[in-house]
Chain A
């Protein structure tokens, strides 16, 4: 299984969508941190390099990151269909489920890699603002961007790491959902678009307040929640991810190639 996962990581790196995502996420924090309209949209001025990652997350978690994650995850399986390599690979003595589980594992890990990169680029983009202590907040901890007094660098870094980890965790089921839809449609574009349609549909379900806490889209903002309230949110996200992964494997096992 480790060998399969290594192979899938190799393929991930070759994806056009991954390279496009990295390019976009390189430009994104730089453009955003120095955009003239930040105050008009978010109501604050960037004071510290530690606020740039929050700005990146605030502006991309709603749509951009789910989109990038869905496209790459769909392409991870879709490339096999595009290159017609799927039957060739499945003829080797690996079971279908082993092979797909390796893909699902890499797809689930992908948001973590992407967000680690975004965090790094965001922090680097904030160089002109400096990395010292500042009065205010990181935007992802208690007190939001205004903060609760003096913010020390170590506290800021910890807050950012926690928020980015939670954000990546909440994106993981979207990755798995994209793989599921690609298994269903046997097409990368179909898989990615179906995932986005599902997310948009979920957002529209906000008109049913009783459903809101359980929607996957609601969990995309969970990175700002205090740690104490995260227990059931973690479980819910895990449940979504496990269900999407299990369904992918079950459907994949029954496919004709």
Chain B
């Protein structure tokens, strides 16, 4: 059973009379990478700050590892976060000195771990330079290094890709994916949909503080479609196979997901043995960018942006 690392329930934040986040409920399990996407002003950063315990909810609850961080701030011992973009450090200190300071505040972090995260983020050579001369991408990498110092159970990152070159971006993706594989729950906000599609487990689409859709990307990954001679027979043949996680027919085609991406070759074999001819087999690629655009335009058609400005608690 998966452990819930982050959970929000009917979370709302109002500044003055303006609702920024409205009735937001979501959960992030251990080992999952959960992305918040949405246009500027959708409330992503506010959600990150509410979940991190930096801003107080107007209503609703936040739980980190089942504990309210506002009641027990010590739970932040299990939290690593980058909530500023670019990541904020004391510019007059070196990268290493900044991490030393974070280690002191966090407690229980050895010198070895500081070296480890610096190497992990490929900042070993720059560690003795003052952060003031770091590039934007280096600061972001140092931010991730600081967040990883305590080997946190929960990682929260606001725009981790901001200002990064493709190589740094790849590095950060790898580090976050590895952290998730080791059981860390990762919550991030981003505008980079390709990055989300590449390695996030689930994505929440926000618009004007509302969660308008939540997409499970794992279900959409390793999914294939096939044109076959006998749809019914093919479906029955695949249903019983262990390497198939899901099989269905859609628009006259067979759509299936694999538990093991390596097992694709076995699909054709099983179908041929069942007397089904495979006419075409191709990945059923999910275009998150197109999906996102479509969801936003549908939402905006329903609730014109800024025109209605629904009051707190009102569902658009």
Q: Which residues of A contact B (CB under 8 A)?
A: 3-4, 7, 11, 14, 83-85, 87-96, 254, 256-257
Contacts and interface: CB of A to CB of B under 8 A. Distances in A.
Contacts of B133: none
B76 A87 contact: no
A257 B88 CA distance: 13
Contact of A83 (B90, B107, B146): B90
30 contacts: A11-B90, A14-B90, A14-B92, A83-B88, A83-B89, A84-B84, A88-B82, A88-B84, A88-B87, A88-B88, A88-B102, A89-B105, A91-B52, A91-B53, A91-B79, A91-B83, A92-B76, A92-B102, A92-B106, A93-B73, A93-B74, A93-B75, A93-B105, A93-B106, A93-B107, A94-B105, A95-B73, A96-B73, A256-B56, A257-B54
Interface centre among B56, B83, B90, B106 (most CB of A within 10 A): B90
A256 B55 contact: yes
Given A84-B84, A88-B87, A7 B101 contact: yes
B76 A93 contact: yes
Nearest to B101: A7
Interface in B45-64: 49, 52-56
Nearest to A99: B105
Given A87-B54, A88-B88, A257-B54, 14 more contacts: A11-B90, A85-B88, A88-B82, A88-B87, A88-B102, A91-B79, A92-B76, A92-B102, A92-B105, A92-B106, A93-B74, A93-B75, A96-B73, A254-B56
Contacts of A257: 49, 54-55
Nearest to B103: A92
B200 interface: no
Contacts of B54: 87, 90-91, 256-257
Interface residues of B, number: 29
Contacts of B91: 83
Contacts of B92: 14
B151 interface: no
B81 interface: yes
B104 interface: yes
